[in-house]
Structure 1
């Protein structure tokens, strides 16, 4: 493949994008650690808190469809630089906000600006890296994101007395500017003209070829609910659960989030190590998801039953057992032509982050709404998580039907 980078070039490009994605994940997850402070300062209810955290993902969802077209047309470098400028403005606006509406608007703007931080490198990897390397790079990008989420827990808690939450967002704006400078200098230019040896097959414009793809549609239910739910828990609801249900102090909850995200970091690192080997043995991503994801359903049921005994170790187990579904992201890109990689990845990212937004907000609304039964706050949290678990079960059942259909079609093709 003429576009494959040398080993040294591939490592450099990966590290540059990983630094930016680290910052993106830190900004994404920071509301879980700041939730006690923001709730007190702005008198936020669980519904407000869920909407504030979900606003980031709403900003993500707003940009995904145009983002995919822009990535395929202009390439990762130009697109991510333009988007990061919005992220800098969003962090500055958050630091200056003096009302819930101001916080929410800033989070939406920040989400829009950071929405290319994973899609841009994955689009580039589709052309620059070999297929097995793409699977590893995807897992290790997610590992880097988990490192950012680790940084959003205890380190943020330690810095709060020194810098305050507003100072933290000013610092994040400066770091994002630094990442823009590094990307400008290190990421290669995108080839926009078709290559005569690899791009000779015409590829349909727009998103029609993506939405019609059977593999893409099979992955939609688990992407929306299970993947989106994992991120919703990791970036928000695990923290309030530990405080409101398990009886943790805010400092202990930050420590719990630190441990959860460290567990996720380890899980994604291991996926990066073993995925190429599993691929060589013919274990496709949909097979691993089909047999591995049910473990997360058992864990969410255990959390509901354990109630106040479900501390961070059980939530860490839920998040780690949900990482099977993360294999769907590079698999969707590989299921479509390289010239459509940006659209395939962005369309699937739209599915995931629309799920994150609705689930983060929906869990908060459910916690508020269940007060109609006269339940105390801890019981309402358990009820909301039980409803979330039922949604995960229904999504997995829909995936199972699509997966078995794909397996039958593949077997019929081989027999023919």
Structure 2
């Protein structure tokens, strides 16, 4: 296959994931303004922001079926129109109900972006290159995490969040049109079963012991990472580290850049380590374990510069994404769309739960001057660390399900 086609596939679908990532974290900049306008509590803000993730999660199974049935090009282009409608609804709303509807529509609209990128890559790149290609895709998405830091904060000094919402909607339509017009028209024609059979395939994945073994540690770490990055990391920096809003916004961008380098670095290193006999599954586990260690250092308030801690948090935070490449080793190519969306479904359900849960727990402490006490944040982080440690134990235990799947694949 010509390299120009592969580059086009990568660029277009990575751009779609960039849009998804911007929408995921845009409330970091919007939150203080919206909270001021509507007088929302931490629990209200957590629920509003997390509606993106519940919309994203609810759409995953039907999106996976559509991806495997029609291919990533038409599905992605069509779904992004819903995202544009969602951000315009969000920006035009003057009440909490309208904001919630808009946020939910955004989540549904961009729910296809990550899995479509992985599906398109699996169709056009060799399996051996997928960890690196997926890592680059995540890096482009990570630029969205950078944009919602200092750049968004600076933009909001000269314009309103409603005007930014309108601009995001227009940009989303441009990306949708580019994918619809220029992405290759390729689908798994030889495996294009009817929709009922497609749903049966999804049920087969959900019943697979191999799927849950691969997902065990990554869904929890990714759930924590994205719940924090897209909302609660900024309050932590303000309330626990006592940073200024400008400093906190800068560190959010540092986190985004570090995640980009981490995704690419781990994606590239995974292939090299595999050649030396270290499976991607094991290498992914090491990266996720280091992410938990960084969280422990932050909770213990070790005397390190905040920039170093946030860079390490971002660098290791996205390593669980290697699980998508592991899925490609255990499931056939015509099921990768459903395997990826099923994994994404579980991750985003947890992100929703963590964002709402963190907001509800913080609200148990009375705010002081618009800030929650440091003990509230530390308590929440400690509980999340304990949950991740428990999932790590399951991840490292021997699995007959994986061995059985390996024998079947060979």
TM-score (norm 2): 0.91
Task: Give the counterpart of 2:343 among 348, 360, 363.
Answer: 348
Cα separation, partners in 2 of 1:323 and 1:180, compared to 1, 3 Å: closer
- Paired residue for 2:274? 279
Aligned to 1:369, what secondary structure does the other structure show? Answer: coil
- Paired residue for 2:77? 81
Aligned to 1:12, what secondary structure does the other structure show? Answer: helix
Q: 1:45 and 1:413 mapped to 2: Cα distance?
A: 53
> Is residue 17 of structure 1 aligned with residue 13 of structure 2?
yes
- Paired residue for 1:8? 4
Q: 1:95 and 1:376 mapped to 2: Cα distance?
A: 28
> Which is worse superposed, 300-309 or 333-342?
300-309
> Is residue 377 of structure 1 aligned with residue 360 of structure 2?
no
- Paired residue for 1:405? 399
Aligned to 2:345, what secondary structure does the other structure show? Answer: helix
Q: 1:133 and 1:240 mapped to 2: Cα distance?
A: 38
- Paired residue for 1:239? 234
Q: Work out whether residues 221 and 395 of structure 1, in 8 Å CA contact, stay in contact via their aligned partners in 2.
A: yes
Task: Give the counterpart of 2:250 among 245, 251, 255.
Answer: 255
What are the within-5 Å matches in structure 2 for residues 204-219 of structure 1? Answer: 205-219=200-214
Q: Over residues 97-140 of structure 1, what are the superposed CA-to-partner deviations in whole Å (9 max), with x where a residue is unaligned?
A: 11222212211110100011111121122222101222211111
Q: Work out whether residues 63 and 112 of structure 2, in 8 Å CA contact, stay in contact via their aligned partners in 1.
A: yes
Q: 2:266 and 2:289 mapped to 1: Cα distance?
A: 18
TM-score (norm 1): 0.90
Task: Give the counterpart of 1:226 among 214, 221, 227.
Answer: 221
Q: Work out whether residues 86 and 109 of structure 1, in 8 Å CA contact, stay in contact via their aligned partners in 2.
A: yes
Q: Work out whether residues 371 and 380 of structure 1, in 8 Å CA contact, stay in contact via their aligned partners in 2.
A: no
> Which is worse superposed, 329-338 or 102-111?
329-338
Q: 1:282 and 1:204 mapped to 2: Cα distance?
A: 36
Deviation at 1:33, TM superposition (A): 2.4
Q: Work out whether residues 238 and 315 of structure 1, in 8 Å CA contact, stay in contact via their aligned partners in 2.
A: no
What are the within-5 Å matches in structure 2 for residues 31-180 of structure 1? Answer: 31-180=27-176
- Paired residue for 1:304? 299
Q: Over aligned residue pairs, what C-alpha RMSD do you find?
A: 2.7
- Paired residue for 1:199? none
Task: Give the counterpart of 2:285 among 287, 290, 297.
Answer: 290
Q: Work out whether residues 88 and 177 of structure 1, in 8 Å CA contact, stay in contact via their aligned partners in 2.
A: yes
Q: Work out whether residues 33 and 239 of structure 1, in 8 Å CA contact, stay in contact via their aligned partners in 2.
A: no
Unaligned runs of 5+ in 2: none
Q: Work out whether residues 260 and 313 of structure 1, in 8 Å CA contact, stay in contact via their aligned partners in 2.
A: no
- Paired residue for 2:331? 336
Aligned to 1:44, what secondary structure does the other structure show? Answer: coil
Q: Work out whether residues 55 and 108 of structure 2, in 8 Å CA contact, stay in contact via their aligned partners in 1.
A: yes
Deviation at 1:44, TM superposition (A): 1.8
> Is residue 368 of structure 1 aligned with residue 360 of structure 2?
no
Q: 1:164 and 1:314 mapped to 2: Cα distance?
A: 32
Q: Over residues 50-85 of structure 1, what are the superposed CA-to-partner deviations in whole Å (9 max), with x where a residue is unaligned?
A: 112211111100100111111110110111111111
